[in-house]
Structure formats: structure tokens, C-alpha cells
């Protein structure tokens, strides 16, 4: 088994609480979110409904609301909350407690709806 490769993408303080930043990776444009209680999540930066930029959405209660059509997406699972349906890919992310550096794992397969359902 090959060990996972984690890359540093910035510090947690680079993202405001209840905010997001974009990261361009070989996998495409990803959105990295910080919740009010400093949890960090990474998803593709594209709403499954109309492709809206999730990084420009409102972060609340462990979710993000798409700025185009108000679809609410759970940040931990990528699942769209009802009554809508759909899912965005999520990516492993962690924060080094000593340096507050956010690290993203690009070689792990993204979590997708089809695999979980």
C-alpha cells in the first residue's frame, strides 16, 4: 500500500471563520472551508445543480449554501440536503495543530455519491 501524500495549502488563519478559499490542484479547482468552530473541509468548487462556485457560498452549521440557487451541501459528506438531491466530491484535509497548516491529500480517491449509495 502506498502512503498518502499530504500537501500544505496554507494556514487555517488564511480562511476566515465561516468562509472559504479556492485551491487549484491537478484534480481541478477545490474549495477549502472553515467553520465557526474551526473545522476544515475540502470539496470540489462546483455545485451539482448548476455548477455554481461553492467557495462563494455561505458557510453555516457544517454546511455551505450555493450562492446561485441556495442548495445546501453537507461539508463532511458532500451530500446535498433535502429536498434537493446530489453530491459533490470531498477530499481528505487535516490541520497540523502546532503550525496551524492546512494539508490536503490529493492521492486519495474523492468520496462520491455513487460509491456510497
**What's the rounded Cα separation, in Å, for the pair 94 and 91?**
10
Question: What is the sign, positive or negative, of the torsion defined by CA atoms of 86, 27, 54, 14?
Answer: positive
Q: Any idea what the Cα angle at residue 61 is, between residues 57 and 63, rounded to 5°?
A: 40
Q: Where are the domains of the chain?
A: 6-104
Whether the bond between 83 and the residue before it is cis, its omega within 30 degrees of 0, is yes
pLDDT in tens, 17-70: 999 999 998 888 999 999 999 999 999 999 998 889 999 999 999 999 999 989
> Cα angle vertex 77, ends 94, 17, to 5°?
50
If one compares 62 and 84, the residue with the highest pLDDT of the two is 62
| CATH superfamily of the domain spanning 6-104 | Rieske [2Fe-2S] iron-sulphur domain (2.102.10.10)
This prediction has a pTM of: 0.88
Amino acid at each position: 500500500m502506498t502512503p498518502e501524500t499530504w500537501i500544505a495549502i496554507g494556514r487555517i488563519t488564511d480562511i476566515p471563520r465561516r468562509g472559504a478559499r479556492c485551491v487549484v490542484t491537478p484534480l481541478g479547482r477545490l474549495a477549502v472551508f472553515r467553520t465557526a468552530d474551526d473545522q476544515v473541509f475540502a470539496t470540489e468548487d462546483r455545485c451539482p445543480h448548476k455548477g455554481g462556485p461553492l467557495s462563494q457560498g455561505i458557510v453555516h452549521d457544517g454546511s455551505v449554501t450555493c450562492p446561485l440557487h441556495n442548495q445546501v451541501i453537507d461539508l463532511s459528506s458532500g451530500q446535498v440536503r433535502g429536498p434537493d438531491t446530489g453530491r459533490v466530491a470531498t477530499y481528505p484535509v487535516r490541520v497540523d495543530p502546532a503550525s496551524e497548516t492546512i494539508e490536503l491529500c490529493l492521492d486519495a480517491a474523492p468520496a462520491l455519491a455513487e460509491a456510497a449509495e
